[in-house]
């Protein structure tokens, strides 16, 4: 099962290696990982998408908690978090296809951020499944290059992670 | 007052109560060594290899319960510590290892004797620190000792660049540590403990399965009370030996791959398994689906990741084992009727276990022709002091020691359980002897493992550490040979150590004393003489070459499928 885990860590030297090394050393999967500082300068926040059964997920969260630099681990089970991801997509766009690309961009509320006579570069934001959907439609037109950030996630409701 | 980093480091060690360090000088720690002159209260012991320095610090820690400290220089000095660090990590031994590093400006430049020891040791330390600013040094040392000894203990490495040792800062050692991201659970959850008491009292066939956590967590007394209150049988892992007196009728000895017949049968047939400070290692469980198949499992451990890692657990309790066992005892005290009913109900189970003990006790065929290693171990137990500290290497002699020595006190067996590090025994004994100059410390080694760190004979003689070394010499890498005999058609590929080494001359070359013995009739006299001889001593026993460690559960088989001695 796919899980999105948020890990709040001390913004210290080497902390990304500790987390990545834990996953590789123990044979856990990482589908995606994104990391950046938070509103508190000393804390960074990672969003990790991983897969595994219940027992593996329990081990992943326990081992993350065991790392000295990890302040908090939140496993967002389905529906408890909002996830967003950005994709930058360079797609072939010539002749009649140019209008078709723009229609798809419009439907997905994406933006064209670079234009040439032969291509569009598109910025799309949304849940990972929305990104998958726009890619599905653009792929037949000729995807030249794709970069995705991997999702970031935040819990629903009024509470912050601290309470 | 402003002090240089090297000086600050030693001031911190002094304030942590460190009285012994094991280390090896080099270019990037020369400043620390120069400052050592100002610290007569810190005894520095100079092993002949950095690996041995860390094993010695580890032996010191296991025997004394204090944090062991080792120092090594950058590059090769640092990489040489890795086996020692990994050994301590697998067995949860509190160490602080200090490595020198090239100046911060050169880090990443492939400088002379530069290695990324932080990266290398990340997966085998509990935590590690690169000190980039001398102002952080005192706080980091404080944290390192705190992390090493609290929660599930483990080794912590501090990498200290040369320029940081030279730079000066105001010295103030923090009085308290507070790490917001590190707050190990000490107190067990009361409701879980109450449930555990109820499960215990409802059991008819309980077994208490004890690991090294009881020794590291100083809970041997609570464990003994629990077992005796309930009349519950106790089996221990290799790391747990000494946590429960093996001369007690409730003791089942070692379980697992080379465990006793009765321990493995008891675990296979029990209806409740109480795991205390143990981690269900594969050498203990054998085939998982067949491990304690009829039992409910209670698991007490300070480390939540140990719980449900390998086996299903019906009742987990996270906390320091001493705290949890003390609370459990208090609850049982309040249920005297329940305890009485339990102890009479458990009698048929104890009878069943006694029948197993009678049917297949630990056994070896005695001989008047060749020296049986098991007989040497038993004789050694008989003749050594009751509180002697035993360190072993890894292999057959280690298992014979575990089976036949009869450990009765915590911290009297030092052995590499998790990593299985050959070459551990001699330096670990050295560390224990440094911690306890007045006690008898005995290293039991094979001829293979002894040769991995035999250079430490020099350290023993130079530092006047009168370790007694027993070499069980079969001219084989015996444990691998045993597997080759059983599973590879006796094809002894590269396990024959065929060079006849003169261990007596070897001992004498270092200024120690050596004895060698071939005949069973001379074993007792040699041990007497060896133990009575002042200073470091080698006793070489030329043992039955193809003696096997039995019982044995083949890898991947279930615990009740043992090959027994006949």
Looking at B395-546, which runs of residues are DSSP E strands? 413-414, 441-446, 468-473, 513-517, 537-542
- Residue A67 has what pLDDT? 97
Four-residue CA torsion sign, B126, B129, B135, B141: positive
Residue B529 has pLDDT above 80, yes or no: yes
Four-residue CA torsion sign, B49, B53, B55, B56: positive
Taking the CA of residue B509 and the nearest CA in chain A, the distance in Å comes to 45
In whole angstroms, what is the distance from residue B242 CA to residue B387 CA? 11
Q: Do A68 and B180 touch (CB under 8 A)?
A: no
Taking the CA of residue B21 and the nearest CA in chain A, the distance in Å comes to 25
- Residue B432 has what pLDDT? 98
ipTM value, please give it. Answer: 0.92
CA dihedral (B438, B439, B442, B443) in degrees, to 10, reads -70
Angle at A51 between CA A47 and CA A56, to 5 degrees: 105
- Residue A13 has what pLDDT? 86
Residues of B in Cβ contact (< 8 Å) with A10: 181
Question: Averaged over A134-138, what is the pLDDT?
Answer: 97
Q: What is the secondary structure of B186-197 as a DSSP string?
A: -SPPHHHHHHHH
Q: Residues A17-76: pLDDT tens digits?
A: 999 999 999 999 999 999 999 999 999 999 999 999 999 999 999 999 999 999 999 999
Question: Considering just the CA atoms, what is the radius of gyration of chain B in Å?
Answer: 24
Q: Do B304 and A62 touch (CB under 8 A)?
A: yes
Q: Residues A57-66: pLDDT tens digits?
A: 999 999 999 9
- Token pair of B110 as six digits: 């492939």
Residues of B in Cβ contact (< 8 Å) with A63: 305
Q: Residues B464-502: pLDDT tens digits?
A: 999 999 999 999 999 999 999 999 999 999 999 999 999
Taking the CA of residue A106 and the nearest CA in chain B, the distance in Å comes to 45
Would you list which residues of chain B are within 8 Å, Cβ to Cβ, of chain A?
A: 118-119, 122-123, 126-127, 130, 132, 147, 179-182, 303-305, 308-309
Taking the CA of residue B343 and the nearest CA in chain A, the distance in Å comes to 36
In whole angstroms, what is the distance from residue B325 CA to residue B331 CA? 10
- Residue A77 has what pLDDT? 76
Please state at what angle helix A97-107 crosses helix A128-142, rounded to 10 degrees. Answer: 180
Residue A1 has pLDDT above 90, yes or no: no
Question: Considering just the CA atoms, what is the radius of gyration of chain A in Å?
Answer: 19
Q: How many CA within 13 A on the CB side of residue B414?
A: 35
- Residue A16 has what pLDDT? 96
Contacts 24+ apart (CB under 8 A), B107-114: B107/B161, B112/B27, B112/B75, B113/B26, B113/B27, B113/B28, B113/B73, B113/B74, B113/B75, B113/B76, B113/B77, B114/B74, B114/B75
In whole angstroms, what is the distance from residue A82 CA to residue A160 CA? 13
Residue A163 has pLDDT above 80, yes or no: no
Residue B320 has pLDDT above 90, yes or no: yes
Sequence-distant (≥ 6) Cβ neighbours of residue B537 within 8 angstroms: B466, B467, B468, B469, B507, B512, B513, B514, B515, B530, B531
Q: Do A59 and B118 touch (CB under 8 A)?
A: no
In whole angstroms, what is the distance from residue B506 CA to residue B537 CA? 11
Please state, rounded to an integer, the average pLDDT across all residues of chain A.
95
Largest pairwise CA distance in chain A: 57
Give residues 63 to 102 of A whose Cβ lies within 8 Å of B.
Answer: 63, 65-66, 68-71
Please state at what angle helix A54-66 crosses helix A15-25, rounded to 10 degrees. Answer: 150
Residue B566 has pLDDT above 90, yes or no: no
Q: What is the secondary structure of B248-301 as a DSSP string?
A: STTEEEE-STT--HHHHHHHHH-SEEEEES----HHHHSSGGGSSTT-EEEEEE
| Residue in the structure block whose two tokens are 């590190």 | B182
End-to-end Cα separation, chain A, in angstroms: 27
Q: Residues B274-316: pLDDT tens digits?
A: 999 999 999 999 999 999 999 999 999 999 999 999 999 999 9
Residue B223 has pLDDT above 90, yes or no: yes
A57 touches chain B (CB under 8 A): no
Q: Residues A76-121: pLDDT tens digits?
A: 977 789 999 999 999 999 999 999 999 999 999 999 999 999 999 9
Q: Do A59 and B127 touch (CB under 8 A)?
A: no
Q: Do B181 and A14 touch (CB under 8 A)?
A: no
- pLDDT bin (cut points 50, 70, 90) of residue B32 is very high
Q: How many residues does chain B have?
A: 566
A136 strand-pairing partners: none
Q: Residues B349-396: pLDDT tens digits?
A: 999 999 999 999 999 999 999 999 999 999 999 999 999 999 999 999
In whole angstroms, what is the distance from residue B77 CA to residue B91 CA? 22
Tell me if residue B235 falls in helix, strand or coil: strand
Q: What is the secondary structure of A13-59 as a DSSP string?
A: TTHHHHHHHHHHHTT---SEEEEEE-SSTTEEEEEEEEE--HHHHHH
- Token pair of A18 as six digits: 């500790």
Q: What is the secondary structure of B167-233 as a DSSP string?
A: SEEE----S----TT-----SPPHHHHHHHHHHHHH-SSEEEEE-THHHHTT-HHHHHHHHHHHT--
In whole angstroms, what is the distance from residue B344 CA to residue B351 CA? 12
- pLDDT bin (cut points 50, 70, 90) of residue B503 is very high
Tell me if residue A161 falls in helix, strand or coil: coil
Please state at what angle helix B220-230 crosses helix B321-334, rounded to 10 degrees. Answer: 30
Angle at B215 between CA A18 and CA B123, to 5 degrees: 15
Q: Residues B85-116: pLDDT tens digits?
A: 999 999 999 999 999 999 999 999 999 999 99
Q: Residues B146-162: pLDDT tens digits?
A: 999 999 999 999 999 99
- Residue B186 has what pLDDT? 93
Phi, psi of B206 (to 5 degrees): -85, 150
What are the Cα distances from residue B375, in Å, to B371, B421, B521, B542? 7, 25, 11, 12
Residue B53 has pLDDT above 80, yes or no: yes
Taking the CA of residue B300 and the nearest CA in chain A, the distance in Å comes to 16
- Residue A162 has what pLDDT? 87
Burial of B557 (0-12, 13-18, 19+ CB in 10 A): middle
A160 touches chain B (CB under 8 A): no
For A57, nearest residue in chain B (alpha carbons): B309
Q: Which of A9, A12, A62, A162 is the best mutation test for B, with the most CBs of B within 10 A?
A: A62
In whole angstroms, what is the distance from residue B546 CA to residue B552 CA? 15
Q: Which of B305, B308, B311 is the best mutation test for A, with the most CBs of A within 10 A?
A: B305
- Token pair of B311 as six digits: 């086996």
Residues of B with catalytic function? 50, 112-113, 162, 479
Burial of B445 (0-12, 13-18, 19+ CB in 10 A): buried
Residues B488-505 as b or e (16 or more Cβ within 10 Å = b): eeeeeeebebeeebebbe
- Residue A5 has what pLDDT? 96
In whole angstroms, what is the distance from residue B412 CA to residue B254 CA? 15
Q: Do B181 and A21 touch (CB under 8 A)?
A: no
Q: Are B551 and B528 in contact (CB under 8 A)?
A: no
In whole angstroms, what is the distance from residue A63 CA to residue B306 CA? 10
Please state, rounded to an integer, the average pLDDT across all residues of chain B.
97
């Amino acid at each position: 099962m796919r899980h999105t885990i948020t890990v709040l860590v001390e913004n210290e030297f080497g902390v990304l290696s500790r987390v990545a090394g834990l996953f590789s050393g123990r044979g856990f999967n990482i589908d995606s990982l994104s990391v950046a500082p938070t509103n508190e300068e000393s804390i960074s926040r990672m969003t990790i998408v991983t897969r595994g059964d219940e027992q593996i997920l329990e081990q992943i969260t326990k081992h993350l908690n065991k790392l000295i630099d990890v302040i908090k681990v939140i496993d967002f089970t389905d529906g408890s978090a909002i996830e967003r991801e950005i994709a930058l997509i360079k797609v072939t766009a010539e002749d009649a296809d140019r209008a078709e690309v723009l229609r798809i961009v419009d439907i997905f509320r994406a933006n064209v951020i670079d234009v040439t006579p032969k291509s569009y570069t598109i910025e799309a934001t949304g849940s990972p499944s929305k990104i998958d959907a726009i890619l599905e439609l653009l792929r037949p037109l000729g995807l030249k290059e794709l970069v995705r950030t991997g999702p970031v996630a935040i819990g629903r409701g009024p509470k912050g992670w601290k309470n | 007052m402003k002090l240089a980093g090297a000086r600050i480091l030693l001031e911190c060690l002094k304030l942590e109560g460190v009285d012994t360090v094991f280390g090896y000088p080099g270019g990037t720690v020369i400043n620390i060594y120069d400052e050592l002159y100002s610290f007569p209260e810190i005894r520095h012991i100079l092993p002949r290899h950095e690996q041995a320095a860390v094993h010695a610090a580890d032996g010191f820690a296991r025997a004394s319960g204090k944090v062991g400290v080792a120092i090594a220089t950058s590059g090769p000095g640092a990489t040489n510590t890795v086996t020692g660090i990994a050994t301590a990590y697998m067995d949860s031994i509190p160490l602080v290892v200090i490595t020198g590093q090239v100046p911060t400006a050169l880090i990443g430049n492939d400088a002379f004797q530069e290695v990324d020891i932080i990266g290398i040791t990340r997966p085998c330390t509990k935590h590690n620190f690169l000190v980039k600013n001398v102002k952080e040094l005192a706080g980091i040392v404080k944290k390192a000792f705190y992390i090493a000894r609290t929660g599930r203990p483990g080794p912590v490495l501090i990498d200290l660049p040369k320029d940081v040792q030279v730079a000066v800062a105001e010295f103030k050692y923090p009085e308290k540590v507070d790490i917001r991201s590190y707050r190990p659970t000490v107190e067990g959850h009361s409701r879980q403990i109450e449930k555990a008491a109820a499960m215990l009292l409802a059991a008819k066939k309980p077994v208490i399965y004890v690991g090294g956590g009881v020794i590291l967590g100083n809970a041997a007394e609570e464990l003994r009370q629990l077992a005796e209150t309930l009349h519950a049988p106790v089996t221990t892992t290799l790391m747990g030996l000494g946590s429960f007196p093996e001369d007690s009728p409730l003791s089942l000895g070692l379980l697992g791959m080379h465990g006793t017949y009765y321990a493995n049968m008891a675990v296979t047939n029990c209806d409740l398994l109480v795991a205390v400070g143990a981690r269900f290692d594969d050498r203990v469980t054998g085939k998982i689906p067949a491990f304690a198949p009829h039992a409910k499992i209670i698991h007490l451990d300070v480390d939540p990741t140990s719980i449900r890692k390998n086996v299903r657990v019906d009742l987990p309790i996270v906390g320091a084992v001493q705290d949890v066992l003390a609370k459990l005892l208090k609850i049982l005290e309040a249920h005297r009727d329940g305890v009485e009913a339990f102890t009479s109900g458990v009698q048929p189970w104890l009878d069943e276990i006694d029948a197993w003990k009678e049917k297949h006790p630990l056994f070896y065929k005695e001989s008047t022709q060749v020296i049986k290693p098991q007989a040497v171990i038993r004789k050694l137990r008989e003749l050594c002091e009751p509180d002697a500290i035993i360190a072993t290497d890894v292999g057959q002699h280690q298992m014979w020691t575990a089976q036949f020595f009869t450990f009765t006190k915590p911290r009297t067996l030092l052995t590499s359980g998790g990593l299985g590090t050959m070459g551990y025994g001699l330096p670990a004994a050295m560390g224990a002897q440094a911690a306890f100059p007045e006690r008898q410390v005995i290293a039991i080694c094979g001829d293979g493992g002894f040769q991995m760190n035999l250079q430490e004979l020099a350290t023993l003689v130079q530092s006047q550490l009168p370790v007694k070394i027993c070499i069980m010499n079969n001219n084989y890498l015996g444990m691998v040979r045993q597997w080759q005999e059983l599973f590879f058609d006796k094809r002894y590929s590269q396990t024959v150590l065929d060079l006849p080494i003169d261990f007596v001359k070897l001992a004498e070359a270092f200024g120690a004393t050596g004895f060698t013995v071939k005949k069973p009739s001379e074993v007792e006299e040699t041990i007497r003489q060896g133990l009575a001889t002042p200073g470091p001593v080698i006793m070489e026993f030329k043992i039955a070459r193809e003696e096997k460690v039995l019982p044995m559960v083949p890898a991947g088989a279930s615990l009740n499928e043992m090959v027994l001695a006949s």
